[in-house]
Structure 1
Amino acid sequence: MTRPFVNWSGGLSFTPAEWAEPADEDEVSALVRRARENGTTIRPVGSGHSSSPLVRTDGILLGLNRLAGVLSDDGERATAWAGTTLRALGEGLYDAGLAMDNLGDVDYQSIAGATATGTHGTGLGFGNLSTQLTGVRLVTGTGETLDVTADREPGLLPAVALSLGALGVVTRVTLDVQPRYELHRRSWCAHLDWTLDHLAELQHTNRNMDFYWYPRSDRTQIRVINRVDGAHHLSTSRTPGGEPRQSQVGPTHRTIPRHRELRFEEIEYMLPSEAFAVCFAEVRRRIHDRHRRVAGWRVLVRTIAPDDIWLSNAYGRPTTTIACLQNTSLPYEEYFRDMEAVFRHHGGRPHWGKKHWLGARELRPLYPRWDDFQAVRRRLDPDGVFLTPDLARLLAEP
């Protein structure tokens, strides 16, 4: 069957030649083998939250929504189908008395899509979601099923943990988990100058901390999250006006993500943390001088711990992210391209699942293990079954 695909924001749409929704791994393998024999491409898709064209194909679009649910757990690790949404994964783990270490800002995504694109939350001690993976099962470009863990094919785990869907169709993932716990989320508003003056303190004295900046008012919304049973505890004397204006207590998956009704486009770059202050100052100046008329939405600042995943945007360095959001009814390209120039000047790496205009020529110098990833890609997908024109542009493959 076929039908048009439209992503979450509505900014990406296309009609594949075929839309397949396999119910098990055997069906996935059969689809990959058929695509290989016919010389066509096949691309996996999760919830469609990403705004980049990673899933676009004129061949087979392989939906993962039927491969959903938590399969097993042993108290320290849990295995789930790749198409499980973060919301459903959180509920399934909670029912088993477990929780993930950290989550991103939305729970609409599938776990495989989130890890494949480097989705992240915030907190100096937390890597992106891919760092929680201890095992991945995928169907390679030859139709074979491959299990990658720290004990089996360990050299491949840093490649498959964040793969852009270029190495195969991920069918299940295994995650580090821990006993479930409660979080206390608080937020309040302050002027941007106050927020920047207290930023390091807020980041170091809270488990999770981020802030939104509203350019037209120069106000921010600060958000901090701490374990109810933990040592982190923000003193209300550090907040302008005393008590935070919003407060919520609950499990991880109900406290960290937020429900999103309004649809938006987004560009986000991951910066070396030492470059954040200078970069953000330039972003602020340019938005005020050039884009205040159209920049009606917010700018989000978060942190990510360094990791060793080859295509991770936080590879090898403490990372601070800047994301510019724009309502889908408003123009964004001129604004985003100008911000991208600032981010690139300060050594930023683009979020794989969001808007950017870089190709392989610009991307390769940003990732020390780029060529190692390419070698694995050619090994696992020798005939380019997953290599659409968009992915080929990113990876400089014919």
Structure 2
Amino acid sequence: MTRSFVNWSGSLAFTPAEHAEPRDEDEVCALVRHARETGTTIRPVGSGHSSSPLVRTDGILVSLDRLSGMVSGDGHRVSVWAGTKLRTLGEGLFDGGLAMDNLGDVDYQSIAGATATGTHGTGLGFGNLSTQIAAVRLVTGAGETLDISPADNPELLPAARLSLGALGVVTRVTLDVQPHFELHRVSWCAHVDWTLDHLAELQHTNRNMDFYWYPRSDQTQVRVMNRVDETPTGPPFTPARVPDSAPLGAPRDSQVGPTHRTIPRHRELRFEEIEYMLPSEAFPACFAEVRRRIRDRHRRVAGWRVLVRSIAPDDIWLSNAYGRPTVTIACLQNVSLPYEEYFRDMEAVFRQYGGRPHWGKKHWLTARELRPLYPRWDDFQAVRRRLDPDGVFLTPDLARLLEEA
């Protein structure tokens, strides 16, 4: 079956030679073997939320939508099919009295797509979603299934938890989960200077904290979240009110609910996005330069907001938070507005401060610039060549990211 593919934002469109929707792992294995035998490429796709060209291929595009739902669970870990959407996963876990520890800003991604690209939420104590993966099952470039876990091929786990789909077609993931809990989300508006002055305090005294900066008004929307069964770590914050020092007193928004209904935000308008992960210590200077350039150069076209979040360090080889506490800066732009000149200028700033690009969003780096940013880069490449020696999954777009010319 052949049909055109268009991603969520509309910025990526292509027509693969074949569009396949396998119903089980055997069909995935057969597709990969066919691609290998015919010398074509094959790429898996989830919900298509990513705006980078990771899934683009003139070969076989494999949708995992039919591989959806729970496989097994024991109360501490659950195994789910790779095509399961985060929203469906959240409801399924909730029905079983369980929850994921943290989530990202949207929930229409598939679990395999979200973890393969480093999707993350916010909070000093929380890594990206890939850190919640305990095991992975994938189909290698030879068309064979491979289990990767602390018990099976454990040396591959730091590569497989975030792999860009370069090691194989992930068919299922096993996640660490915990008993269901509820969060209280509170948000309010404040001038950006107040938010920056109180940023460290807000980050350290709340479970989750992020903020949007609106360049045209210099206002921010601050969001904090805390478990209703726990008290944050110190005054002046409680789960039910805004800090006493906040300039606008009453909260703009307040909601209590389970994580999968409280953390993600519903999006009506579609947008393009560039996001870089920065060493935490570099954030103040980097944000100051971002703010200066947007106000001086891009305020006319920068109609959307800038999002700031935090991520805990991890040991996943291609993770943007590998080995360092991280603060992220994301610039959003409505799809009807020009973005490339604006985003490229922001990328120059992010790179100046040691930033790593989000794998699933706009950026213009290639393997030559990426390799120095990841201490275990060569280890990942060795695993990739081991599991896909014939380059079945290596499209030209992926080669630009992973192989130096």
Alignment TM-score, normalising by the size of structure 1: 0.99
- How far residue 151 of structure 1 moved from its aligned partner, in angstroms, is 1.4
**Matching of residue 276 in structure 1 with residue 283 in structure 2:** yes
Distance in 2, Cα, partners of 1:298 & 1:331: 14
- 1:173-204 deviations in whole A, cap 9, x for unaligned? 00000000011011110000000001000000
Quote the Cα distance in structure 2 between the aligned partners of 1:171 and 1:397: 29
Which whole-Å CA distance do the structure 2 matches of 1:145 and 1:58 have between them?
24
- Name the amino acid aligned to 1:275: A
8 Å Cα contact 2:7-2:50 kept in structure 1: yes
1:339 equivalenced with 2:352 (yes/no):
no
- Structure 2 gap ranges (5+): 233-237
Q: Where in structure 2 are the equivalents of 1:126-137 lying within 5 Å?
A: 126-137=126-137
Letter in 1 for 2:108: Y
Cα RMSD, aligned residues only? 0.8
Q: Are 1:70 and 1:93, in contact at CA under 8 Å, matched by a contact in 2?
A: no
Structure 1 ranges of 4+ moved more than 3 A: none
Sequence identity, in percent? 83
Distance between the aligned counterparts of 1:73 and 1:318, measured in 2?
A: 31
Give the residue type in structure 2 aligned to 1:142. A
For 1:5, the equivalent position in structure 2 comes to: 5
Q: Any residues of structure 2 matched to 1:1-398 within 5 Å, and which? A: 1-232=1-232, 233=238, 236=242, 237-396=244-403
1:245 shift after superposition: 1.6
**Given residue 315 of structure 1, which amino acid in structure 2 is its aligned partner?**
Y
Question: Does the CA contact (< 8 Å) of 1:279 and 1:343 recur in 2?
Answer: yes
User: In structure 2, what residue type is equivalent to 1:252?
Assistant: T
Q: What SS does the corresponding residue of 2:51 show, helix, strand or coil? A: coil
Mean alpha-carbon deviation: is it higher for 230-239 or for 129-138?
Answer: 230-239
How big is each residue's C-alpha offset from its partner over 1:219-263, in whole Å with a ceiling of 9 and x where there is no partner? 000001110001212553143232312000000000000111100
Q: Deviations over 1:286-327 (max 9, x none)?
A: 000000000010000000000000000000000000000000
Alpha-carbon distance in 2 for matches of 1:246, 1:320: 24
Deviation per CA, 1:78-134, whole angstroms, max 9, x where unpaired?
110000000000001001110000000000100000000000000000000000000
Q: Would you say the 8 A contact 2:189–2:248 is kept in 1?
A: no
Give 2:398's aligned amino acid: L
Partner of 2:235: none
- Structure 2: which amino acid aligns with 1:35? A
| Post-superposition offset of 1:150 | 1.1
SS at match of 1:55: coil
Q: Distance in 1 between matches of 2:404 and 2:321?
A: 24
Whether the 8 Å contact between 2:123 and 2:311 is mirrored in structure 1 is yes
Contact 1:79 1:174 in 2 (8 A): yes
Which amino acid letter does the alignment assign opposite residue 163 of structure 1? S
The 1-side partners of 2:19 and 2:246 are apart by 51
TM-score of the superposed pair, with normalisation by structure 2: 0.97
**Separation in 2 of the partners of 1:287 and 1:357?**
19
- State how far apart, in whole Å, the 2-side matches of 1:309 and 1:238 are: 39
* Change over 3 Å in CA distance of 1:35–1:397 after alignment to 2: farther
- Asked whether the 8 Å contact 2:368–2:404 carries over to 1, the reply is no
Residues in 2 aligned to 1:203 and 1:370: alpha-carbon distance in whole angstroms? 30
Deviation at 1:397, TM superposition (A): 6.1
Contact 2:45 2:113 survives alignment (8 Å): yes
Which consecutive unaligned segments of at least 5 residues does structure 1 have?
none
